[in-house]
């Protein structure tokens, strides 16, 4: 899933292809079927840390927020440290009123009690059907069995990854290693999500673990900044779930000197952290419902990074661009039309558009190109759209996927 | 295409089902094949007024605006009066640089010369392929033949309607009559558009004719306000063309006392004008690419009308809502998720959602409903989604269509 830009940055860290959320020191994980999913698949999972890990989270901006988000916020507000996160799939515990809040609190209390930890050291997350009360008996007995099955090996990480899946077709994990103060530090993550939202059975969830020593406030800043450039730059269908959440936990057991912005290795750690988030984000976009291709939209020359971000997301989210990519149609007209409606500064006379290496528009004038070469490029599994506005130095990258018959099939037939 | 709200307002005006843009006094129209469309269909049309008509226009907000828009703006800026509008389909004359501007000017000059009118009394519009120079020889010989075929009857209006079509599957016209000062005033319109944008072959264009006496500035205000509540409230795929334009022409030949905001009949005229715009807008939404159903989203109880407008458009534009409607899935979860991400004030505890008359959510709590009745309702050709936020008195209505396999097929296969 790497690209050229990644390769340049990988001098500072090394991918660990077989790694997962249990690879960083101090973490165990697991997952099992507790009874929420009708198909018998894993539907309850947890990541547990041997010590209270520095923790941080970012949440959906949707105004309807599911009950578990409020409970997790409450936990993190205490001391910013977590022993565990407990996640169920199959039921979003959203639009469930007061009962839903009580159930989310009971999930937290159940896990805390199993670990002999205070409630506020446990976070919870849910994904699945909206508007249906949680089956708490299933969750309670699930926690009882889960607490003895948590392992620090690859099996534990894999079981957790499975337990958070809904319409996902592949598990999504990433792991990298780097050297800090002569110690090996590992950053890993697991994520789920196949559409930005399917109120009946999905959501985007991301979980990052690391054994780096870093205090909660700096971890929170890093997560927020990184999420803005990774998880917040993917779009499958422009919708935003009521349950989206990305949570990071840092055990500190790698033994590096605590990270600060002044630490000589901070940039390398931030790059490794960003790489993990970006790999997970791209994996989610590529696994978009019905998708056959990853679309990467790179905007340069915008009036600011923020402006580039809006434009990149608008292009990546355009149904017409997404349909054209599905049809392997080098339709630059749809690309500039999306640029033009993004509401950002643009000089209509100075726009370049490339599809991979194929120049289709230069200074807003069509450039004749080899249609067969374009077709071959657009039939690949990753399509890169590069836009240069020649206006300023703002840059951003967004990721999306093509719009296919299967997206319509999945979302038309979903609930019934 | 009427609904309950229309019926209430129709006391002031009477629909003229067989009417078209030539029904108001003073207008002739026509259309023919000049050579731009490969399939031999009509691709050049005009509406001509016997007198310089008061005129007004609203344009796309896309920053890439096609050459004809600049030329039409220039015409209207002179005295706000038009003798004619000349429209071609098959070529958008967009992203065609200086040559495109010269061609748009030449189109205008050719029509003006045929009518012996000054250039600035002619407007031009184009829709079709982007980035390809106009075949001006075809346009010039087309104008020569067209000027003798303009008629004030239904055939003229029909030929014009055909000449502006691209991927449209039906012609879109509307016409109403009302009484002003004892005189019969007629308002009519024609429109095209099947997606908000298909840079290679579409765009939304609307043309309103009336024989009411009204000065250009008031007509411009009325058109702007009305377009905000009608044409600007439809969404097929969230994209916005480089060529969108709605143009109104008022001949004044009905003989009413000139309309002012103080005229006792102004409200009735505004209602009639709005009805024509709304019927055209709904017809465009219903004919959205691949669409099988019209979706009407009514928002009430918002903090303001502007806020209601954003929410209504967000719901009508949600791919997940659109897919659910295609699948006849009473998926209220997707509806409130779209409400929640619209970025507008919402109380997550007080939202009602109805599908037609079927209550699915009351004060944000799920209400059990008859799934079979919901299925039957959602299988109809018009689906009305009503949302009450119980927050204020803001209201708005938006129109869209379902997202279908055919949308993907049309837009994936389009250019190739």
- For residues A238 and A64, is the Cβ–Cβ distance under 8 A? no
pLDDT at A201: 41
- Annotation marks residue A203 as catalytic: yes
Cβ–Cβ contact A367 with B under 8 A: no
pLDDT at B235: 76
Distance from C-alpha of A319 to C-alpha of A341, rounded to nearest angstrom: 13
Whole-model pTM: value is: 0.81
Distance from C-alpha of B28 to C-alpha of B154, rounded to nearest angstrom: 10
Listed range (A237-246, A381-390, B382-391) with the worst mean pLDDT = A237-246
Calculate what percentage of chain B has a pLDDT beyond 70.
Answer: 93
Token output for A126: 């849910």
Which of B319, B329, B416 shows the shortest C-beta gap to A327?
Answer: B416
Which of B199, B336, B407 shows the shortest C-beta gap to A334?
Answer: B199
Distance from C-alpha of A404 to C-alpha of B188, rounded to nearest angstrom: 39
pLDDT at B204: 84
- For residues A407 and B323, is the Cβ–Cβ distance under 8 A? yes
Mean pLDDT of chain A: 90
pLDDT at A416: 42
Cross-chain residue pair B195–A411, CB shorter than 8 Å? no
- The string of DSSP codes covering B27-94 is EEEEEE--S-STT----EEEEEEEEEEEEEEEE---SS--HHHHHHHHHHHHHSEEEEEEEEEEE---
The yes-or-no verdict on residue A1 having pLDDT over 50 is no
Listed range (A154-168, A193-207, B85-99, B248-262) with the worst mean pLDDT = A193-207
What confidence tier does A9 reach under pLDDT thresholds 50, 70, 90? very low
Residue, of A201 and A361, whose pLDDT is higher = A361
- For residues B94 and B63, is the Cβ–Cβ distance under 8 A? no
What confidence tier does A399 reach under pLDDT thresholds 50, 70, 90? very high
Number of H helices, E strands in chain A: 12, 15
Mutate to test the interface with B, among A59, A60, A61, A63 (most CBs of B within 10 A): A63
Cross-chain residue pair A319–B199, CB shorter than 8 Å? no
Q: Phi first, then psi: what are they for A299, rounded to 5°? A: -110, 130
Cross-chain residue pair A64–B365, CB shorter than 8 Å? no
Cross-chain residue pair B323–A408, CB shorter than 8 Å? yes
Tally of CB atoms within 10 A around B402: 25
Distance from C-alpha of B269 to C-alpha of B278, rounded to nearest angstrom: 14
Q: What mean pLDDT is predicted for residues B385-408?
A: 92
Q: What mean pLDDT is predicted for residues A217-230?
A: 94
Summarize pLDDT for B9-56 with one digit per residue, the tens.
Answer: 445 899 999 999 999 999 999 999 999 999 999 999 999 999 999 999
Token output for A165: 């899946």
Cβ–Cβ contact A323 with B under 8 A: yes
Summarize pLDDT for B115-149 with one digit per residue, the tens.
Answer: 999 999 999 999 988 888 999 999 999 999 999 99
Chain A residues touching B414 at Cβ < 8 A:
323-324, 327, 329, 331
The yes-or-no verdict on residue A414 having pLDDT over 60 is no
What confidence tier does B399 reach under pLDDT thresholds 50, 70, 90? very high
pLDDT at A257: 96
- For residues B48 and B83, is the Cβ–Cβ distance under 8 A? yes
Distance from C-alpha of A198 to C-alpha of B354, rounded to nearest angstrom: 20
pLDDT at B296: 96
Cβ–Cβ contact B35 with A under 8 A: no
> Hey, CA dihedral for B69, B125, B94, A302, is it positive or negative?
positive
Chain A residues touching B404 at Cβ < 8 A:
408
Q: What mean pLDDT is predicted for residues A42-62?
A: 94
For residue B345, give Cα distances in angstroms to B93, B153, B390: 41, 50, 11
Chain B residues touching A324 at Cβ < 8 A:
411-412, 414-415
The yes-or-no verdict on residue B196 having pLDDT over 60 is no
């Amino acid at each position: 899933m790497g690209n050229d830009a990644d390769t340049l940055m990988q001098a500072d860290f090394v991918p660990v292809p077989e790694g997962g959320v249990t690879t960083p020191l101090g973490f165990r994980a697991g997952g099992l079927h507790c009874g929420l999913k009708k198909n018998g698949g894993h539907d309850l999972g947890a990541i547990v840390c041997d010590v209270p890990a520095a923790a941080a989270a970012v949440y959906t901006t949707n105004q309807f927020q599911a009950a578990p988000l409020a409970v997790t916020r409450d936990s993190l507000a205490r001391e910013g440290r977590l022993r565990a996160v407990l996640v169920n799939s199959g039921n979003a515990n959203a639009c469930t009123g007061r009962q839903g809040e009580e159930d989310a609190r009971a999930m937290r209390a159940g896990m805390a009690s199993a670990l002999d930890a205070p409630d506020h050291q446990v976070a919870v997350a849910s994904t699945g059907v909206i508007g249906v009360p949680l089956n708490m008996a299933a969750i309670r007995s699930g926690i009882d069995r889960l607490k003895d099955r948590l392992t620090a090996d690859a099996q534990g990480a894999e079981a957790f990854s499975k337990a958070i899946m809904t319409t996902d077709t592949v598990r999504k994990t990433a792991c990298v290693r780097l050297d800090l103060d002569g110690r090996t530090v590992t950053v890993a993550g697991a994520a789920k999500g196949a559409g930005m939202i399917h109120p009946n059975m999905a959501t985007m969830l991301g979980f990052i673990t690391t054994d780096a020593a870093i205090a909660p406030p700096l971890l929170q800043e890093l997560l927020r900044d990184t999420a803005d450039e990774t998880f917040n730059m993917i779009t499958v269908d422009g919708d935003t779930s009521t349950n989206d959440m990305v949570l990071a936990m840092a055990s500190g057991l790698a033994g590096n000197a605590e990270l600060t912005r002044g630490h000589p290795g901070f940039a390398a750690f931030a790059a490794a952290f960003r790489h993990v988030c970006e790999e997970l984000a791209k994996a989610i976009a590529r696994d978009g419902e019905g998708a056959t291709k990853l679309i990467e939209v790179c905007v340069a020359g915008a009036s600011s990074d923020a402006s580039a971000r809006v434009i990149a997301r608008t292009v990546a989210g355009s149904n017409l661009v997404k349909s054209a990519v599905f049809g392997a149609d080098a339709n630059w007209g749809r690309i500039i039309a999306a640029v033009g409606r993004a509401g950002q500064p643009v000089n209509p006379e100075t726009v370049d558009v490339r599809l991979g290496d194929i120049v289709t528009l230069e200074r807003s004038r069509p450039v004749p190109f080899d249609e067969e070469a374009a077709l071959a490029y657009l039939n690949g599994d990753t399509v890169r759209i590069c836009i240069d506005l020649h206006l300023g130095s703002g840059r951003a990258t967004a990721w999306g996927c093509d719009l296919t018959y299967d997206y319509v099939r999945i979302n038309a037939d979903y609930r019934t």
